[in-house]
Structure 1
Amino acid sequence: MHAFLARLAVSAFLLVSVAGLPAAGATLVPPGNRNAEQPAIPYGAVKRTGDTRGTFEAKYRKIRDLIAGNSELKGKIKKAAEAYGIDPIHIVGALVGEHTYNVDAMDRLQTYYVKSLSYLTSTIDFAYKGEDVADFVRRPQFGDCDGERGSDEQLWTCREGVWNAAFRGKTVGGESFPDKRFGAVFFQPFYAGQTFGLGQLNPMTALSVSDVVHRVSGYDELDARDANKVYAAIMDPDKTLAYMAAVLRSSIDSYRTVAGFDISANPGLTATLYNVGNPRQRALALATENKRRASAGEKPKLPEENYYGWLVNDKLDELKAALR
């Protein structure tokens, strides 16, 4: 099963589509929201914002204004987008979603550079109960993943699938494992669910596109055994934008090759996938659902935005203006 999913996940990462035109064989998803009203915002996002006595609107304005008022940042966004063959509005959308519903944007770009350097000297490991993740994935249950490796994303997607199927919430060899996400168990040494930097990336996401970022942007490949370097990379504004662009490119490619939809003209959808993760599995699930619908004579289901992506599409004119 894992090998099957891994093969389905393979895509040509840098096949550049023309913005606004459907990729060959794919159905263009039109701009805008499919939902008339914003989907429910999760309690965690509401609580985080309430705990700081903030509001979503104030946080949105802060990140929008940071982008609009910083020509250096806009230049970096456009450069990263060009390198990965995407419209820069996709990066803007992900930044806005993260800093509206996750954390407040910092006032100055320089602050992120300073924090990036601090992680190089921190004591960090990606491990669970003293077992390094690099050793953990050598267990025999993960054997098919190494055999099917075609990219870092394919490899880590497979490993996460094995974790869910064979370890999550189970007792294996007398050892019990928590009923939590793979990333939360092994890749959040500070506290579960934490993401970092301007792009609010989590470490496993960065590792999953490390080979692509190395090939396209020339940055050193990341290693799960060197957690400090992983954190420093995702905290560095220059590097994090490359990782963001790679992740967004992957979502566009996954939905085109696996689900048959071109989402390149809908930044709310790419922002949604940036928020929820696992674009390949989600594309596969949508493809499966639409195959069932076709058999039943029903219309295909289009990809839909969540609360996070809904805001991006709703504010799209403002965000495009901020980028100019």
Structure 2
Amino acid sequence: MIRFAALLALACLGLQPAAAQTRVPPGNRHVEQPEIPGGSRSRTKATRSSFEAKYEKIHALLADNRVLQDKIRKAARLYGIRPVHIAGALVGEHTYNVDAMDRLQTYYVKAASYLNAGVDFSYRGQNVADFVERPEFAPCEDARGLARLWACREGVFDRRFRGRTVDGVSYPDNRFGAVFFQPFYAGQTFGLGQLNPLTALSVSDMVHRVSGYPALDMRDAGAVYAAIMDPDQTLSYMAAVIRVSIDAYRDIAGFDISGNPGVVATLYNVGDPFGRAEKLAAANRGGAGRLPEENYYGWLVNEKIDDLEAIFP
């Protein structure tokens, strides 16, 4: 039975408990871990570390820091998700992408430094706020909520601009977020939750509504970076991203993935929950009978689920 607190959280998000759907069982569908990307291997090798050592470091941070545990529980409660989902995303990011910082204070200091960083979201002199006013993006204005709006804009960029020359401007064959939203290093993510600015912008309305943090503005890149570097705020953004993924698979593909932290973590890692849910739904309409599956990142979360649930029973 859904607890009252979870129902209240769903009501705050403007959502209703799911109708009939297929519940994805816990555990991994793959017997062995799917292939880990070469980039993750090379980054780990460059730091003279190992995946196991990095896992132990983030696990220790989660297990030993009561303040962080309380913050995770609070964020999870507000967004109607399980704390283990946030913990799983942290484990995946800090095992395969970066090393966990030993002290949360380091993130607070970094957050303050970004407020006056003097950066903007642009490409070759085109500010993203002006870029998305182009007529190609007009159909996206009917999208309900920022998550769907930015997903639509990403799709338009992929179809109409990615790898093309448009009006004399050559656009790289790269993701919208890497081209316009990461002026420091293309592809880099930031903060405890290793979020990128576009992801944060896509759930800003939900975070503002549920957690009360100021709404983010694509014209104020410094404030966006500061938000995702701040440990308190970033946990809310992580929770919102996870909530969007769970709801997308429920509403579009008819799957309840909330009982499989590895699948939830996989979506946190790969993004585009709307597009992926639509592809899965289309395949199953054709009789494929496919369940959502974990990738290498989510596989580790399911493999270590007993460790994580011991922290967040």
TM-score range, shorter chain: over 0.9
Name the structure 2 match of 1:119. 114
Name the structure 1 match of 2:8. none
Q: What do residues 143-197 of structure 1 show as CA deviations (whole Å, max 9, x unaligned)?
A: 1112x13101111011101100100011112221111100000011011110000
TM-score relative to the length of structure 2:
0.94
Cα distance change of structure 1 residues 14 and 111 upon mapping to structure 2, 3 Å threshold:
farther
Name the structure 1 match of 2:46. 51
Contact conserved, 1:86 with 1:249, CA < 8 A, in 2? yes
Q: What do residues 299-318 of structure 1 show as CA deviations (whole Å, max 9, x unaligned)?
A: x1000000000000000001
Name the structure 2 match of 1:5. none
Contact conserved, 1:13 with 1:253, CA < 8 A, in 2? no
Whole-angstrom distance in 2 between the partners of 1:14 and 1:84 = 11
Q: What do residues 235-282 of structure 1 show as CA deviations (whole Å, max 9, x unaligned)?
A: 000000000000001110000000000000011011000000000100
- C-alpha RMSD over aligned residues: 1.2
Name the structure 2 match of 1:34. 29
TM-score relative to the length of structure 1:
0.91
Name the structure 2 match of 1:60. 55
| Percent of paired sites with the same residue | 66
Contact conserved, 1:26 with 1:262, CA < 8 A, in 2? yes
Contact conserved, 1:14 with 1:85, CA < 8 A, in 2? no
How do residues 167-206 of structure 1 correspond to structure 2 at under 5 angstroms? Answer: 167-206=161-200
Contact conserved, 1:93 with 1:268, CA < 8 A, in 2? yes
Q: Secondary structure at the match of 1:258?
A: helix
Shift of residue 321, structure 1, vs aligned partner? 1.4
Q: What do residues 197-233 of structure 1 show as CA deviations (whole Å, max 9, x unaligned)?
A: 0000000000000000000000110000000000000
Whole-angstrom distance in 1 between the partners of 2:36 and 2:312 = 26
The equivalent position to 2:224 in structure 1, one of 204, 227, 230, is: 230
Q: Secondary structure at the match of 2:307?
A: helix
Q: Which runs of 4+ in 1 moved over 6 A?
A: none
Gaps of 5+ in 1: 1-11, 18-22
Name the structure 2 match of 1:84. 79
Aligned residue type for 2:201: L
Whole-angstrom distance in 1 between the partners of 2:169 and 2:220 = 26
Q: Secondary structure at the match of 1:68?
A: helix
How do residues 1-324 of structure 1 correspond to structure 2 at under 5 angstroms? Answer: 15=15, 23-146=18-141, 148-293=142-287, 300-323=289-312
Whole-angstrom distance in 1 between the partners of 2:126 and 2:168 = 15
